Every structure is written in C-alpha cells, then in structure tokens.
Structure 1
Amino acid sequence: MNMLSSRTPGLPLGLGLAGLLPFLLCAAIVVLMGLPWQAIALQAFIYYSAVILSFLGGIHWGVAMSLDHGGSGEFNGRMIMAMAPSLIAWPALMLDARFALLALMAGFLLVRLYERQSDSIERLPGWYRALRTLLTVVVVLIHLVLVIWLSLLPV
C-alpha cells in the first residue's frame, strides 16, 4: 500500500478507498445482521456494484474521446469496451442475487483485464492502474465472500 499511496495522487486514492466503504458496509450487514437488514443490504450492494461497474465503462469512454483518434481501431474497441460494463451491470440487476454477484464480479475482472492490454497501459497513468488493481482485488473478494455466504444459507 505504501508504494501505491506514494505514487497515487491523494484525491484519487482517497476517493477510491472511500468508494470501497459501501461495498464493505453492505457486505458486513449482509453477513452480520438479521432479516430484513440482510435483504436490504444485499440489494444495496448489488445496485452499488452495478453503478460502479458502469462508472468504469465511462472512464474508457472519456479515454477514447480524449486520447484515441475517432474511427481508429483503438477508438472503436475502447468505445465498445466503454459500453460493455453497463451491458453487464443492468441485466445483473434482474438476476437472482448469487448470479448477479457472479456477473458483476466477472464484469469487474473483465474491465481490469482490458486495462492490462497494451493500448490501455499506454493511455492510463501508472497510478491509476495500481489503484484499480487494488480496488478490483478488494471488490472481487467481497463479491466472492457474499457468493459463498449465500451458498451456505439454507434454501
């Protein structure tokens, strides 16, 4: 974390870490509280996850508009990638909670894998890539904890 915080500008680091709080809080309520708080927190978690996943697509829309040449292969690919997260997130809101969590988790991983491609590495600052790796690991682990927790509940 020291290497991350020494290279990452303070505001994006603080905002990124603050963005983890709704994930952590909702997951804690799901695991530790009783009904009806569990159901409310799980729904809030899934909705927040969908919003954040869609936000990540918006980042790539902005990168394409500002750094890629319109009509180029990089531009077209990044614009399609910019839309993919919301096309994963929105249908996930209509799925059973376990499947929604899995779909959203896969979406976070797919965005991060895309950001590790050479054209993304050239266009995204190193501090952003390091921050996104940290945030993605935490978010995916929290999703996984909830999937496992839901799988252990009696039907």
Structure 2
Amino acid sequence: MLQASRTAPLAWLLGAAGLIPFIGLAALVMLGDARWQAVALQAFLYYSAVILSFLGGVHWGVAMSLDREGSHAFNSRLLVAMAPSLLAWPALMLDAQFGLLALMIGFLLIRLYEAQGDSIARLPAWYTALRTLLTVVVVTTHLALLLLARL
C-alpha cells in the first residue's frame, strides 16, 4: 500500500474506511446468498453515487479556497465540481450494469482531472496519492461487478 502521509493520517484512515462498503457490498453481491445479492447491488450503486458526488464537492471547495472568484480557474473548477453529481444521479436510474459502468467512468474521469497539472498544483500531495489508491480499489470493485454481470 502507498505510505500514508505523516501530515494526513486521519485522511488515510477515513479513506481506507470508505472502501469498506465498496469491498463488502461487492463481495456480498458475488458471494452472498441470492436473497441479499440484489439488495447489496442497489446499496453498492447508491454508495458509489454518493461518494462520486462527494468528490465533486472537493473541487468546489478547492475553487472557493484557492481560486479568484470569476477567474477561468474558478469557473472551470466549479463546472467540473458539478459533473460527478450530474453523472451519479442519473446512473441510479439506469439498469444496474449501465449504472455501474457510468459510475466507474465517473471515478476514472475525476481522477484524470485531479492528475492534471492545474489540479496537482492545488491539491496536497497526500491527497493525490490517497486518491490514486482509492480509485484503483473503487474501479476494481465496479469492474468485478460488471464482469460478474456478463457471466
């Protein structure tokens, strides 16, 4: 595992704890009793949508804290901050397989945005390292459920 930053151990702990529902619910969908699989899949989708929306909120906060109101950086970051919610909400209304795919793409896109130079300059190094690890696990759980749906 990537080493937790000495300046943000609580963030690393909370980030890891945030993976428990992804891993636990995906395991329940794949290995659980048939009576619980559909419930676990719905819970997974809802949790995924909430977390994706939360990631947009991070960038709203970055814009308010670090960018001059009305500047190009401020306006573009606010627009990007809204995208995860606008993707996550309709994903909940799609067939589960398409919802999983849409949410997974959302996690990948927000991480790609965070990997751009403009974002790297505004985000702490511990955050980008943490987000890389979390994104790998989150995308892997989505991918595992998508592959299971194809079987």
TM range (shorter): over 0.9
Per-residue Cα deviation, 1:18-44 (whole angstroms, up to 9, x for no partner) = 000000110010000122200000000
Q: How does 1:20-59 map to 2 (within 5 A)?
A: 20-59=19-58
- Kept after mapping to 1: 8 A contact 2:15/2:134: yes
Count of residue pairs brought into register by the alignment: 151
Q: TM-score, normalised by structure 1?
A: 0.95
Question: Does the residue aligned with 1:36 lie in a helix, a strand or coil?
Answer: helix
Distance 2:49 2:67 in 1: 26
1:6 deviates by: 4.2
Q: Which runs of 5+ in 2 are unaligned?
A: none
Runs of 4+ aligned residues of structure 1 deviating over 2 Å after TM superposition are: none
Q: Could you say which residue in structure 2 is the equivalent of 1:118?
A: 117
1:151 deviates by: 1.1
Question: Does the residue aligned with 2:34 lie in a helix, a strand or coil?
Answer: coil
Q: TM-score, normalised by structure 2?
A: 0.97
Q: Which runs of 5+ in 1 are unaligned?
A: none
- Kept after mapping to 2: 8 A contact 1:101/1:147: yes
Q: Could you say which residue in structure 1 is the equivalent of 2:84?
A: 85
Q: Could you say which residue in structure 2 is the equivalent of 1:105?
A: 104
Q: Percent same amino acid at aligned positions?
A: 68
Q: Could you say which residue in structure 2 is the equivalent of 1:131?
A: 130
Counterpart residue type for residue 82 of structure 2: M
Distance 1:65 1:6 in 2: 25
